Structure 1
Amino acid sequence: MIRLAINPLTWTNDDMPELGAETPLETCLAEARQSGFAGVELGNKFPREAAALKPILSRHGLALASGWYGSRLLERDVDAEMAAAEPHIALLTAMGCTACVFAEVSRAVHGERGTPLSRRPVLSDADWAVLAPRMTEMGRRLAARGLRLAYHHHMGTVIETEAEIDRLMASTGPEVGLLLDTGHLTFAGGDPVAAGRRHAARIAHVHCKDVRAPVMADVKTRDLPFLAAVLEGVFTVPGDGSVDFAAVFAMLAEAGYDGWLVVEAEQDPAKAHPLTYARLGHGTAERLAAASFGARFSPAAA
């Protein structure tokens, strides 16, 4: 079944908490449902205990699609990583999630406001030899808990480019799934459709993020930090940028993808009115998902 979710970054930002700081969680959830979404991902205002979170989401008729986990497998072994991740794993499983959004954040610069993206970390062969087997084992252990590791390639991290995604998929076992993020891959100079076709069997989760191509070209020319690029408006929701979502969804349908399509766009809510953009993202995703997936698409009642 294909369902639509939204990330609360539309309303309030995790990496820049001052963006949307005044917006209560209830507003995020009410407007997500008002826009027609069936689910949400975790954000910094969400309670992290299932007993507290379940009744809140239930009140708004929303499911939890997943939530971000930043790993440090380059710095610690799998036992230590599993111990660090346990509260997150327990929350996702208790909430009925089937995928864990998983990104390696060792050495990452995406949260550093003064570090340009050109200075982001690049793995050596020795680093790959450490990371890949640990990632496979992490995927194995998450699977034992009922969760698919959905690896999130991300600007400013060690897995950013299409070539790095290819190497990660080639050097890890099938226990490591792929979170295909259309915006991050486009920003990194990649092709979401081509990469998706190559790794179709591994796609475990999808982030539907659009890119404003003129802004992307400008921030690359100026070599801005990631968060500065966000503030410049490099990302937006589907239907407001240059990503060909009709082609992306057609590829996913052909691949037999089953799961959430998550609308996500880090924007300044003072410049990009959250409800307006949530509705635009949902409308675009709903129309294209219905066309591509047919009866497998389950729209939420608005």
Structure 2
Amino acid sequence: MILYGTNPIAWANDDDQTIGAHIPTRQILHEAGRLIGFDGIENGHRWPQDPQALRQLLGEYGLRFISGWYSTALLTRTVEAEIDAVQPHLARLKANDCTVCITCECSNTVHGDPNVAVNDRPVLTPAGMTAFGAKIEAFAAYLATQGMRLAYHHHMGTVVESPQDIDALMAATGPHTHLLFDAGHCAFGGGDPQAVLRRHAGRVAHFHAKNIRRPVTDRVRTQRLSFLHGVLAGAFTVPGDPEGEIDFVPLLRILAEAGYDGWLVIEAEQDPRRHAPLTYQSMGLSALKAAARDAGLDRG
């Protein structure tokens, strides 16, 4: 069953919490659930930490808790230490009937630092990627015993950013490690989203329908801007935006051919003062549903 979700970073950013700080929490939920009509929403820094309080709050607006970003630090700590660290997050996922744990290695990421160019992100050697992949797979195997699939989020500013990084991580991991495919991060990271998704569609456990404005992402690269400066400049947008580059129908057709069954999430952070979340998320959901129907992914 295909379900449609969003992420609160369209309203209130997690990496720079001053972005969208003026928008009340209940306005986010009202717009996402009642006005736009999403089925669910991912994690954000505004949500309650208590699992039952979280379930109750989102339920008031007809929203499910989809999953949420979990930052691993497996380059600097053991798998056993990571298992201990994930327990509070895991409890929230279980209590809210989530099936995936969105994971990204953040021990040395630069995407949250406005003073570091995204071009200067960390890069692993082939041997380093092999060792990292073994730890991710061991962590994913533990999550599988808890009824959770690890969905690794390739992301700008991290050790898994480029299409080569994605390929290397998938090669370095086993059957317990799945992929969160993010169309926008793939394109921004130098990849052809269709080609990369086609290679790994069978391992995709979660999908972020993020679009990019190519003139902005190119400027981020050439002017050596930080990831956060790129966000504020408008690097990302939603499906259906005429300024966006990505055609989602071919991507969703690849997912349909692979038998994908799960969430399609519009995770597209923008400056809400420049790009009104209600307007853009409404546009995005309408376009994403139409693309899913055209692709044969959503036959409902």
TM-score (norm 2): 0.96
Measure how far apart 1:50 and its partner are. Answer: 1.4
SS state at 1:199 partner:
helix
Identity, % of aligned positions: 47
Measure how far apart 1:292 and its partner are. Answer: 2.1
Q: Which residue of 2 aligns with 1:249?
A: 252
SS state at 1:141 partner:
helix
Distance 1:3 1:242 in 2: 24
Q: How does 1:113-128 map to 2 (within 5 A)?
A: 113-128=114-129
Partner amino acid for 1:155?
M
Partner of residue 293 from structure 1, selected from 287, 292, 296: 296
Measure how far apart 1:181 and its partner are. Answer: 0.3
Moved more, 156-165 or 188-197: 188-197
Measure how far apart 1:125 and its partner are. Answer: 3.2
Moved more, 217-226 or 40-49: 217-226
Measured against aligned partners, the alpha-carbon deviations of 1:222-258 in whole angstroms (never above 9, x if no partner) come to: 1111101111100001111001111111111111111
2:207 maps to 1:203:
no
Distance 2:105 2:275 in 1: 29
Checking the alignment, whether the CA contact within 8 Å between 1:148 and 1:175 is kept in structure 2 is yes
Unmatched 5+ stretches in structure 2: none
Q: Which residue of 1 aligns with 2:9?
A: 9
Q: Displaced runs of 4+ in structure 1, greater than 3 A?
A: 293-297
SS state at 2:70 partner:
strand
Distance 1:23 1:144 in 2: 39
Checking the alignment, whether the CA contact within 8 Å between 1:11 and 1:23 is kept in structure 2 is yes
Q: Which residue of 2 aligns with 1:18?
A: 18
Q: Which residue of 1 aligns with 2:195?
A: 194
Q: How does 1:1-302 map to 2 (within 5 A)?
A: 1-33=1-33, 34-240=35-241, 241-293=244-296, 296-297=299-300
Checking the alignment, whether the CA contact within 8 Å between 1:74 and 1:127 is kept in structure 2 is no
Checking the alignment, whether the CA contact within 8 Å between 1:8 and 1:40 is kept in structure 2 is yes
Kindly report the root-mean-square deviation, in angstroms, between the aligned alpha carbons of the 2 structures: 1.1
Measure how far apart 1:291 and its partner are. Answer: 2.3
**CA distance 1:296–1:141, shift in 2 (3 Å):** farther
Unmatched 5+ stretches in structure 1: 298-302
Measure how far apart 1:294 and its partner are. Answer: 5.4
Checking the alignment, whether the CA contact within 8 Å between 2:240 and 2:283 is kept in structure 1 is yes
Distance 1:268 1:195 in 2: 28
Distance 2:298 2:103 in 1: 30
SS state at 2:65 partner:
strand
SS state at 2:31 partner:
helix
Checking the alignment, whether the CA contact within 8 Å between 2:250 and 2:295 is kept in structure 1 is no
Partner amino acid for 1:242?
E
Distance 1:274 1:264 in 2: 11
SS state at 2:296 partner:
helix
SS state at 1:43 partner:
coil
SS state at 2:103 partner:
strand
Q: Which residue of 2 aligns with 1:300?
A: none
Distance 2:59 2:254 in 1: 33
Partner amino acid for 2:224?
D
Partner amino acid for 2:86?
A
Distance 2:67 2:234 in 1: 25
Checking the alignment, whether the CA contact within 8 Å between 1:74 and 1:130 is kept in structure 2 is no
Partner amino acid for 1:18?
T
Distance 1:53 1:296 in 2: 31
Distance 2:132 2:298 in 1: 40
Checking the alignment, whether the CA contact within 8 Å between 1:2 and 1:259 is kept in structure 2 is yes
Partner amino acid for 1:247?
P
